C-alpha cells in the first residue's frame, strides 16, 4: 500500500540484520526464567534501549506465582560403553526444558521413561517442557531411540531450580498521544527459529524503526516468557491498560507461508478491522483471518475476560499446524531473511494505517466545495492515478461526517487506503476537513 521507493536496499539490509540476530540467539538455552533469557534481552538491548525487569520467584500474579528460576550448566547421557550419546551442549532441545537436577545410573527400561521422541517424524528431536511439574527428561530422534542397546546408562542433568527471578524486557516509545499500541512476543523457547526467534527479530527492528519515526501513538514492546510472562506483566501494569488502543502478539514470521491474523476477542477493534481489510485487499486469497479462540499465544491472557484488550495475533503459519513446529527442524534453514523483511513490512503497513485512520468532519458539507479554485481538480487530471485520487477526494469529502473513518471510506469505495489517506491529507491542507 504505502509505497516506499527506498525500500529495496533498506529492506535487504534489515532482512540480513534480523537474520543475524536470529543466528546470534539460536544457540542460547532460553526458558520462562534464567540466564538464557537475560542473555537474549542483552542482545536485543544492543539494538534498542530495552528496560530489563526482574520479578522475584514467589511473586503472586493473579492466580499464578512467579516460578523458581531454572539454569543449566550441562546435561548428557552416557551409553553402557561410556560414550556420550545425547548432549545438551550440542542441541539444547535434547534436554526437557525445566528438568530438575539429576545424576545417576539406570537400565535402559528405566531410562526410557524419561525419553521423548516423535514416532511419526523419526528424524526430528521434539521440544518439550515441564515447567510446573518437577521432572527430568531428554528428547531425541526416534531413530536414535530405536538404536539404544540394553545396558546401564549414566544420566547427568547439571541444572539448578531455585529462587531467583523471572526476567522480561520492555521498551516504551512515547508518541504524540498517550494511547498505546502493544507489541508482544515470547522469549521462552530455546533453539527454535520460527517459534519464537522470528518474533523477537521482527519486534526488535519494528521498535527500532518506529522509534525513529516520531509516531502518533505510543508503542510498548514486551519481550516476555509465554503465559506466565504476560500474566506477570498484566498483574504489575493494570493501571495503564486503559491506554491500550490495540496490540499484536507476533511470532512465526520467518517461514514461507502467507499470513494468518487471529482477531482479538472483541473481534471488531481498530486493529481487527485494519488487519482484516489489509490482508483481504493486499493478500487476497492467500492470507487467513481467524476468529479469536482462547488457545494459542499470549493473546489468551490479554484477551481474558477481565481485560478483553483489543490484541490480535499475527503469524504466517499457524500455531501447531506445520510439521517443523516445536521440533529441531524449526532451525536456521527454516526461516528466511526475505520472509522476515516481508513480515516487518506488513506490520509497518498495519501500523501506518492505524496512525492515519481518523474520523473527519467536512467543513463545507452543503454541496461539493469547488475543488478547482483550491488546486484540487485540474492538477489531478490525466492518468489513472490522478483519476483515482480525484475519486478518493470525493469519497473522503462525502463521508467526512464524523461517523466514518478512512478505513470505512476505503472499504466503501474500493480505493486503496493509501490513496484515501493521501486524499484526506490534501483536503486537510486546504482546510476542507478537520479531525472530528
Site residues (vs Zn ion, CB under 5 A):
195
Which grid coordinates are listed for 358? 481518523
Question: Which of 198/264 has CB closer to Zn ion?
Answer: 198
Instruction: Give least dist CB 150 to Zn ion, A.
Output: 35
Any idea which residue has 542441541 for its cell?
91
Question: Which of 29/426 has CB closer to Zn ion?
Answer: 29
**218-224 and 180-186 as β-strands: parallel, antiparallel, unpaired?**
parallel
Which residue lies nearest Zn ion, judged by its C-beta? 195
Whole-Å CA distances, 159 to 85, 98, 197 = 19, 8, 24
> Can you tell me the distance from the alpha carbon of 33 to that of 46, in angstroms, rounded to the nearest whole number?
20
Instruction: Give least dist CB 426 to Zn ion, A.
Output: 46
Instruction: Give least dist CB 195 to Zn ion, A.
Output: 4
Question: Which of 18/32 has CB closer to Zn ion?
Answer: 32
Instruction: Give least dist CB 300 to Zn ion, A.
Output: 13
Question: Which of 246/312 has CB closer to Zn ion?
Answer: 312
Report helix, strand or coil for 203: helix
- Using alpha carbons, select from 210, 303, 211 the residue that is nearest to residue 263: 303
Instruction: Give least dist CB 188 to Zn ion, A.
Output: 8
> Can you tell me the distance from the alpha carbon of 175 to that of 140, in angstroms, rounded to the nearest whole number?
48
CB 187 within 8 A of CB 168: yes
> Can you tell me the distance from the alpha carbon of 215 to that of 376, in angstroms, rounded to the nearest whole number?
28
Instruction: Give least dist CB 319 to Zn ion, A.
Output: 7
Long-range contacts of 72-75 (CB under 8 A, 24+ apart): 72/29, 72/34, 72/99, 72/157, 72/158, 72/159, 72/160, 73/158, 73/159, 74/156, 74/158, 75/99, 75/138, 75/156, 75/157, 75/158, 75/159
CB 51 within 8 A of CB 45: no
Q: How many CB atoms lie within 10 A of CB 113?
A: 8
Question: Which of 195/298 has CB closer to Zn ion?
Answer: 195
Report helix, strand or coil for 247: strand
* Range list of H helices, 192-251: 199-211, 228-236
Question: Which of 181/319 has CB closer to Zn ion?
Answer: 319
Instruction: Give least dist CB 236 to Zn ion, A.
Output: 24
Any idea which residue has 507489541 for its cell?
183
Question: Which of 195/342 has CB closer to Zn ion?
Answer: 195
> Can you tell me the distance from the alpha carbon of 277 to that of 272, in angstroms, rounded to the nearest whole number?
8
> Can you tell me the distance from the alpha carbon of 194 to that of 336, in angstroms, rounded to the nearest whole number?
9
Question: Which of 195/345 has CB closer to Zn ion?
Answer: 195
Instruction: Give least dist CB 386 to Zn ion, A.
Output: 49
Instruction: Give least dist CB 269 to Zn ion, A.
Output: 25
Any idea which residue has 521434539 for its cell?
126
Instruction: Give least dist CB 30 to Zn ion, A.
Output: 11
Instruction: Give least dist CB 326 to Zn ion, A.
Output: 6
Q: Say if residue 196 is preceded by a cis peptide, omega within 30 of 0.
A: yes
Amino acid at each position: 500500500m504505502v509505497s516506499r521507493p527506498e525500500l529495496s536496499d533498506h529492506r535487504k539490509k534489515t532482512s540480513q540484520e534480523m537474520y543475524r540476530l536470529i543466528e546470534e540467539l539460536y544457540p542460547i538455552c532460553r526458558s520462562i526464567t534464567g540466564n538464557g533469557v537475560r542473555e537474549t534481552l542483552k542482545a536485543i538491548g544492543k539494538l534498542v534501549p530495552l528496560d530489563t525487569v526482574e520479578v522475584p520467584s514467589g511473586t503472586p500474579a493473579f492466580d499464578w506465582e512467579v516460578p523458581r528460576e531454572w539454569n543449566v550448566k550441562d546435561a548428557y547421557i552416557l551409553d553402557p560403553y561410556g560414550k556420550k550419546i545425547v548432549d545438551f551442549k550440542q542441541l539444547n532441545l535434547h534436554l526437557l526444558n525445566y528438568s530438575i537436577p539429576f545424576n545417576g545410573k539406570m537400565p535402559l527400561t528405566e531410562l526410557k521413561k524419561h525419553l521423548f521422541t516423535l514416532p511419526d517424524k523419526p528424524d526430528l528431536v521434539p521440544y518439550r517442557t515441564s515447567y510446573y511439574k518437577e521432572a527430568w527428561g531428554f528428547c531425541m530422534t526416534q531413530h536414535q531411540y530405536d538404536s539404544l542397546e540394553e545396558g546401564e546408562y549414566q544420566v547427568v542433568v547439571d541444572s539448578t531450580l531455585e529462587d531467583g527471578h523471572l526476567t522480561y524486557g520492555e521498551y516504551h516509545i512515547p508518541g504524540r498521544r498517550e494511547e498505546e499500541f502493544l507489541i508482544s512476543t515470547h522469549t521462552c523457547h530455546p533453539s527454535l527459529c520460527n517459534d519464537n526467534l522470528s518474533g523477537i527479530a521482527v519486534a526488535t527492528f519494528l521498535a527500532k524503526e518506529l522509534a525513529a519515526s516520531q509516531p502518533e501513538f505510543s508503542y510498548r514492546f514486551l519481550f516476555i516468557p509465554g503465559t506466565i510472562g504476560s500474566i506477570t506483566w498484566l498483574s504489575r501494569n493494570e493501571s495503564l491498560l486503559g491506554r491500550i488502543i490495540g496490540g499484536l502478539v507476533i511470532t512465526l514470521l520467518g517461514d514461507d507461508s502467507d499470513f494468518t491474523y487471529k482477531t482479538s476477542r472483541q473481534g471488531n477493534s481498530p486493529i481487527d478491522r485494519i488487519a482484516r481489510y489489509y490482508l483481504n485487499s493486499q493478500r487476497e486469497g492467500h492470507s487467513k483471518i481467524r476468529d479469536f479462540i482462547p488457545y494459542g499465544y499470549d493473546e489468551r491472557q490479554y484477551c481474558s475476560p477481565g481485560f478483553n484488550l483489543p490484541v490480535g495475533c499475527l503469524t504466517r503459519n499457524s500455531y501447531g499446524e506445520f510439521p517443523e513446529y516445536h521440533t529441531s527442524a524449526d532451525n536456521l534453514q527454516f526461516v528466511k531473511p526475505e520472509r522476515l523483511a516481508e513480515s516487518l513490512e506488513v506490520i509497518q503497513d498495519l501500523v501506518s494505517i492505524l496512525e492515519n485512520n481518523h474520523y473527519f468532519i467536512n467543513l463545507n458539507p452543503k454541496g461539493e466545495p469547488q475543488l478547482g479554485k483550491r488546486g484540487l481538480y485540474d492538477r489531478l487530471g490525466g492518468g489513472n492515478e490522478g483519476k483515482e485520487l480525484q475519486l478518493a477526494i470525493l469519497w473522503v469529502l462525502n463521508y467526512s461526517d464524523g461517523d466514518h473513518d478512512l478505513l470505512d471510506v476505503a472499504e466503501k469505495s474500493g480505493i486503496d487506503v493509501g490513496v484515501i489517506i493521501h486524499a484526506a491529507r490534501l483536503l486537510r491542507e486546504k482546510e476542507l476537513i478537520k479531525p472530528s
